[in-house]
Structure 1
């Protein structure tokens, strides 16, 4: 008998860790599954409060993709402000179902780029890759 050769296939490195923050379960699952299919590791949160807990725990996050309107003690804009104070190097993309830019907080454009709902997965992927320099 010959020697047993073990070949270990190297898993490709993930493209990054995306924290998806969305209170609508089906939307969160859909975008998370899509991003996983594109090679990203995904951490999910149903509220800004959960997202802050994830980030405060020291979890590595490459980018945050968050909705604006969510239940809890803070919304997506509060989450973005928390990130700017505590994890300022983490890029953020905000999504909103509000139909007009003027309906959004005036300071939102200064905080993070906005991906209007409904968004296409291809457009979201392009924006994420640009923000991560991929």
Structure 2
């Protein structure tokens, strides 16, 4: 009412959905499945929540070894987003290399808070931490489009 008295108006339309971390744009890749590999439980939880808020299906793994075993067992995903440094014998870089060799059409994106990007980028696209969820979504959309996805 006060705004109207002074001749103003308020537009409350949102082109996305609100999450605890801000406005997240919905993707056109709804129902696409992301395998998220991150050993830091808090980072994994927040990233998974944001990807789900954008309309993606997310399967979480705490290690590259766990994720690799799931893929070998037949888990079908559309894209993999993996940290370089995870618990166990298999790191994200080797995980990405194996996926590229065994599943060449499966898009993989590597992330790290360390300077692993110089070598990681040779195997798969690299996103430095800390990242904004919009950057993750853009990379996922680009990888899906490059693979012939929507």
TM-score category of the 2 structures, normalised to the smaller one: 0.7 to 0.9
Corresponding residue of 1:32 = 48
Assess if the C-alpha contact under 8 Å between 2:117 and 2:127 holds in 1.
no
User: TM-score, normalised to structure 1's length?
Assistant: 0.82
Q: Structure 2 CA distance, aligned partners of 1:59 and 1:28?
A: 19
Q: Structure 1 CA distance, aligned partners of 2:69 and 2:41?
A: 19
Q: Structure 2 CA distance, aligned partners of 1:83 and 1:19?
A: 12
Corresponding residue of 1:94 = 110
Query: Quick one: which of 120, 123, 126 aligns to 1:108?
Result: 120
1:36-51 alignment to 2 at 5 Å? 36-51=52-67
Q: Structure 1 CA distance, aligned partners of 2:119 and 2:43?
A: 25
Q: Which runs of 5+ in 2 are unaligned?
A: 1-28
Q: Structure 2 CA distance, aligned partners of 1:36 and 1:75?
A: 25
By how many angstroms is 1:15 displaced? Answer: 3.6
Runs ≥4 residues deviating over 6 A: none
Corresponding residue of 1:57 = 73
By how many angstroms is 1:104 displaced? Answer: 2.2
Q: Which runs of 5+ in 1 are unaligned?
A: 1-12
Q: Structure 2 CA distance, aligned partners of 1:14 and 1:64?
A: 16
